[in-house]
Structure 1
Amino acid sequence: MKAQVQTTEIIQAYQRPLAFYTLATMIPWGLWFISGHISHLSPYSHEMKWITSILSFTGLLAPVLIAFWFILPNKTLREDFMRRFFNFKTLKPQYLLITVFLMLVSILAAQAISLLFGYPADQFQLRGSFSFSSGIFPVWVLLLLAPLLEELAWHSYGTDCLRSRFNLFTASVLFAFFWSLWHFPLSFIKDYYHSNLVESGLIYSVNFVVSLVPFVLIMNWLYYKTNRNMLLPIVFHISAGFFNEIFSTHPMSKVIQTGLLLVLSAFLVLTNRSLFFNRIFNPSTIN
């Protein structure tokens, strides 16, 4: 209980949300808009591909460096980071299973439901290639590295600095809104996932934005239920990218998946009101 009380106090030490989110938006945006411009130049040389990829990766890395810039000078935050990142004691089996398999179950269920509306059964086949490009980096590397780097930023500093000011529900919705804006410049980088998403149709772009709300709510539920264990958001984010990429999923099935996750996240919010709506973190919500 003492450690949980200390957790309540430590969350209040994450006090610079405006500075963090301003820097974590502006720096990647600048790099990604330049990258997007270069990616559409013709002729698009191999050297330009390298420049585009390096700029894109640097934009991805920037929020992590910003988070560490805020954390490292503060002994309390440094110790808190180490405790949360190398924390295996709160990895309870039920939360670990949900972390690893929820996105697999949800996409398979969505594909099964889509069959009722006439969408093809070959969605269940493994995809022979990836649906997007990642420049000079292999796509499978990006599927692992991007979630790792993002969550090292969002759940080392970003989530708790919002939680120090708002209840968990508000903090999660605000972050989902920020996250959708944060991804925006990626839609201008030729052949990248978000660029292909825009070309596939408005409904699928809107679905990506909407899907972030239940995704963040579920991820933060896992995060706080395990006393802010950083490993679970990392694994959950990796599993989402991996399982939504390996099958020949019709884009409409991802819309259905968003609907399923919205229902699940609403259930979690309604059955965990203290966790989501208490202004101050309540240790009794951990179990």
Structure 2
Amino acid sequence: MTETAQLPVGNGRLAVGNPWVFFAATFAITWFFWLVAIALEVSFSSAAGLVLLLAGLVGPGIAGIGFVYLVYDERGRADFWDRLTQVRRIGVRWILVILLLPPAVTLVAAGVDLLFGGPGATWGEGVQEFGSNPLAILPALFFATLPPLLEEVGWRGYALDRLQLNWSALSASLILGVVWSMWHLPLFFVDGTYQHDVVGFGTMGFWFFTIGIVPLSVVFTWVYNHTSRSILGIILLHGWVNFVAETLEVTDSVYYIHWMLVAVLLTAIWGRKTLTAAADVPRPPLPTDR
């Protein structure tokens, strides 16, 4: 492994491959477009707003691909595209986990909510209108599948590997989860987003959404490390989590608490083997790591 290239940062020097450099680039790309929307008071439900929304969403993916080509040599780059395109990495067992886990968590959360006098699960708006207008499901499909594709190329495709070089899988998951959560923050101030129109800034829903992303990061790492670091598998899981949540709605407090319980359960059961021991985590090829 060659000596890492350095970029000057203040009075010190920081390796290009440092995940915090990637995070800074990602936030710069995404927040630029979303802060422009806030400053211009543009709604994401408008054409101009949709352009700004999508331009911000590509931040993690563009930065991820850019840093893969900046940091890795040909072997590392080939590994990246293989992880993004090869279904064989996932395996039948983990495809079943991906397909069954989100609806299982949602249905259990709905059942618990009913037991405590809550509404349980309700159909999302798109599903309610599906009988009279089948096209009503398309917005849910679009926003469930597109963001994971644009995000996970960077979050799990690049950043998670870099974090797991120096941190345990659990610590790396928590760090990435907090960063991933904070990345969404401008959406709470832009009209036409779920975060602004439904959740609201500073509400209880805001705190459940913001904190609830972190245990999802732990679950994603668990699947990622068991599927030969498959980016495609995480895109599928992320998209399926979104789609299930948008079509079968459960009270946020109950829903996110159950994802927290899943994360705690995974940590307790698999412990050092998959979530706490950095030495047990598959390593990316780093022959010319910069």
Fold match by TM threshold 0.5: yes
Conserved 8 A contact 1:15-1:164: no
List aligned pairs for 1:237-252, cutoff 5 A. 237-247=238-248, 249-250=249-250
Contact 2:103 2:244 in 1 (8 A): yes
CA distance in 1, matches of 2:236, 2:36: 31
Q: Is the contact made by 1:110 and 1:260 (CA closer than 8 Å) also made in structure 2?
A: yes
Q: Residue 211 of structure 2 corresponds to which residue in structure 1?
A: 210
Within 1, Cα distance between the matches of 2:200 and 2:90?
40
Asked if the contact 2:83/2:89 (under 8 Å) is kept, the reply is: no
Which one of the candidate residues 244, 252, 255 is aligned to 1:254?
Answer: 252
Gap regions ≥5 residues in structure 1: 1-12, 131-136
Aligned length: 256
CA deviation map 1:229-248 (0-9, x unaligned): 1121111100111011113x
Structure 2 partner of 1:69: 66
Among all aligned residue pairs of Structure 1 and Structure 2, give the percentage whose two residues are the same amino acid: 25
Match of 2:23 in 1: 21
Give the superposition deviation at 1:129. 5.6
Question: Alpha-carbon deviations, 1:196-239, whole Å to 9, x = none?
Answer: 24438711111112211221111110000111011211111001
Displacement of 1:195: 0.8
In the alignment, the residues of structure 2 paired with residue 254 and residue 105 of structure 1 have an alpha-carbon distance, to the nearest angstrom, of 16
Compute the RMSD of aligned alpha carbons: 2.6
Deviation for aligned residue 1:37: 2.9
Determine helix, strand or coil for the equivalent of 2:58. Answer: helix
1:220-235 matched pairs, under 5 angstroms:
220-235=221-236
What's the offset of the Cα at 1:69?
1.2
How does 1:160-199 map onto structure 2 within 5 Å? Answer: 160-199=161-200
- 5 Å matches for 1:63-212? 63-73=60-70, 74-120=73-119, 123-125=121-123, 127=125, 128=128, 138-199=139-200, 202-212=203-213
The question of whether the paired residues in 2 share the 8 Å contact of 1:197 and 1:205 is answered with: no
Task: Please give the alpha-carbon distance, in whole angstroms, between the structure 2 residues aligned to 1:169 and 1:95.
Answer: 20
Rate the CA distance shift 1:139–1:34 in 2: closer, same or farther, 3 A: farther
Query: 8 Å contact 1:35–1:53 — kept in the other structure?
Result: no
Asked if residue 59 in structure 1 is aligned to residue 56 in structure 2, the reply is yes
Of residues 178-187 and 66-75 in structure 1, the stretch that sits farther from structure 2 once superposed is: 66-75
Note if 1:275 corresponds to 2:274: yes
Deviation per CA, 1:117-162, whole angstroms, max 9, x where unpaired? 22235x34453269xxxxxx94532221111111111122111111
1:117 counterpart letter in structure 2 = F
Question: What is aligned with 2:34?
Answer: 32
* Residues 1:22 and 1:201: Cα distance change in structure 2 (over 3 Å): closer
146-155 or 111-120, larger mean C-alpha shift = 111-120
Matched-pair contact (CA < 8 Å) for 1:14–1:157: no
For residues 155 and 147 of structure 1, the distance between their equivalents in structure 2, rounded to whole angstroms, comes to: 10
Q: 1:167·1:278 contact (CA, 8 Å) conserved in 2?
A: yes
TM-score of the pair, normalised by structure 2: 0.80
Return the letter of the residue paired with 2:167: F
C-alpha distance 144-129 of structure 1, shift in aligned 2 (>3 A): farther
- Structure 1: distance between partners of 2:189 and 2:281: 42
- Within a 5 Å distance, the mapping from 1:3-22 to structure 2 comes to 15-22=17-24
For residues 33 and 139 of structure 1, what CA distance do their matches in structure 2 show? 25
